[in-house]
Structure 1
């Protein structure tokens, strides 16, 4: 059984900073390798990545067996899949484009058991991966030990972030800086590292911290990741599997090409 103090939820609530790799390439081997190489968590992206339901389910098990925390980002509005992935053992779900209280409420409804939500019962695989033998034990801890993070990446979400964070059962927020940049510039630019977005990210982190909820963010550069940590973000994505591979290849081949 996973020790309660070692769950992703409790580590983040205790103020620990967790770095997650961002997995876009389908298949369980690479997420496992990323954990064994040092990442504490891997986020499996179904929205823009190549993952489908089967590859995420396989990758969740691989990440757990490697000693990491599996997280999944579902497609926009696909809250039914969010519930299924919790049943498969995901420890957190990131929901994109949460732009209103209504969006956040609909998301929470699918990922939390009554009375907070309407999640349907069927967590057999999650119980196996967590080493929980009794359904009652899982039921009593599931809502606290599985996280729902709503992505703040639109002008409407930024303007109502306090109301979104007030939704009972939403565990925190996750900043999508690319879409937020596009939204704030009315489609004129995509500058996730730009000052306007970084200032907005700081406001979002502060709002989450004020109410004791989790603040997460996707970072495109090491500078962004360090700045996010200084802002108070504790769940930080840096970097994607494709970026890691490119950086590794360059580190190997560039010195060789130079002779």
Structure 2
């Protein structure tokens, strides 16, 4: 079932979108994630196990479930950014964007001329998204698909204004774990560090001032409301492995009489 692009429009009208984060390259599991109340599913090629084949299959499953479909590419794989768009993705997250030059290279792969040099050839995206080929797709693709540059190092923080000024970059996405490593000069990893929160809030503030979107990975789901108040509109709530573990804990607690809530186990 074709589904028009929706993520850019939803963020533009001020919606907050919560995404499940898929690391396991199973199309059945991706499809199951897309049946939940998450607004989006993100396929992780950087630290997750997704490859081109699982992204191809996973995007179809997500789009068929009427959810926003996002891909995080490996570091420096701007060629994969273009391919994931050709496969039908709403948005691409690019890790380790540390300078305006990095941002320009990423944006160049994401946008058709005159913004970039994305190569023409997206019949699958046109079909899945119910967009006519030729000029109709050419005129709509640049605004309908989003390029999100990850901010996760001190270099990226220092270059944030320059990164946000790059035409063709639609927003930024904070990686708090790597940011915490940089923040402590390699001493520790703690994505919930309180002394980083002012800097994280500033990222969202600057993105908004530049008329661009801000997203973040919320390792602790209970931090999501705080990030929303900061201005983050696209929030990841942890890996699917965490969802499975949390669900198993809840089911076992109910089975052992720890909770009275009736759970749907299927069948």
Name the TM tier (shorter chain): over 0.9
Bigger helix fraction: 1
- The residue number in structure 2 matching 1:63 is 62
Could you tell me how far apart the structure 1 residues matched to 2:32 and 2:257 are?
29
Displacement after TM superposition at 1:131 (Å): 1.0
- The residue number in structure 2 matching 1:186 is 185
- The residue number in structure 2 matching 1:177 is 176
Displacement after TM superposition at 1:132 (Å): 1.6
Displacement after TM superposition at 1:69 (Å): 0.8
Could you tell me how far apart the structure 2 residues matched to 1:194 and 1:211 are?
26
- The residue number in structure 2 matching 1:163 is 162
SS of the equivalent of 1:94 reads strand
Displacement after TM superposition at 1:65 (Å): 0.3
- The residue number in structure 2 matching 1:227 is 226
Could you tell me how far apart the structure 2 residues matched to 1:122 and 1:43 are?
23
SS of the equivalent of 2:167 reads coil
- The residue number in structure 2 matching 1:242 is 241
Could you tell me how far apart the structure 2 residues matched to 1:252 and 1:143 are?
44
- Structure 2 residue runs without a partner (length 5+): 259-267
Cα RMSD for the two superposed structures: 1.3
- The residue number in structure 1 matching 2:100 is 101
Could you tell me how far apart the structure 1 residues matched to 2:112 and 2:183 are?
35
Q: Structure 2 length as normaliser, TM-score?
A: 0.93
- The residue number in structure 1 matching 2:265 is none
Displacement after TM superposition at 1:257 (Å): 4.0
Displacement after TM superposition at 1:134 (Å): 2.4
Is 2:200 the counterpart of 1:201?
yes
Displacement after TM superposition at 1:143 (Å): 0.3
Number of matched pairs: 257
- Structure 1 residue runs without a partner (length 5+): none
- The residue number in structure 2 matching 1:133 is 132
- The residue number in structure 2 matching 1:80 is 79
Displacement after TM superposition at 1:211 (Å): 1.1
Could you tell me how far apart the structure 2 residues matched to 1:37 and 1:10 are?
21
Displacement after TM superposition at 1:2 (Å): 4.1
- The residue number in structure 2 matching 1:143 is 142
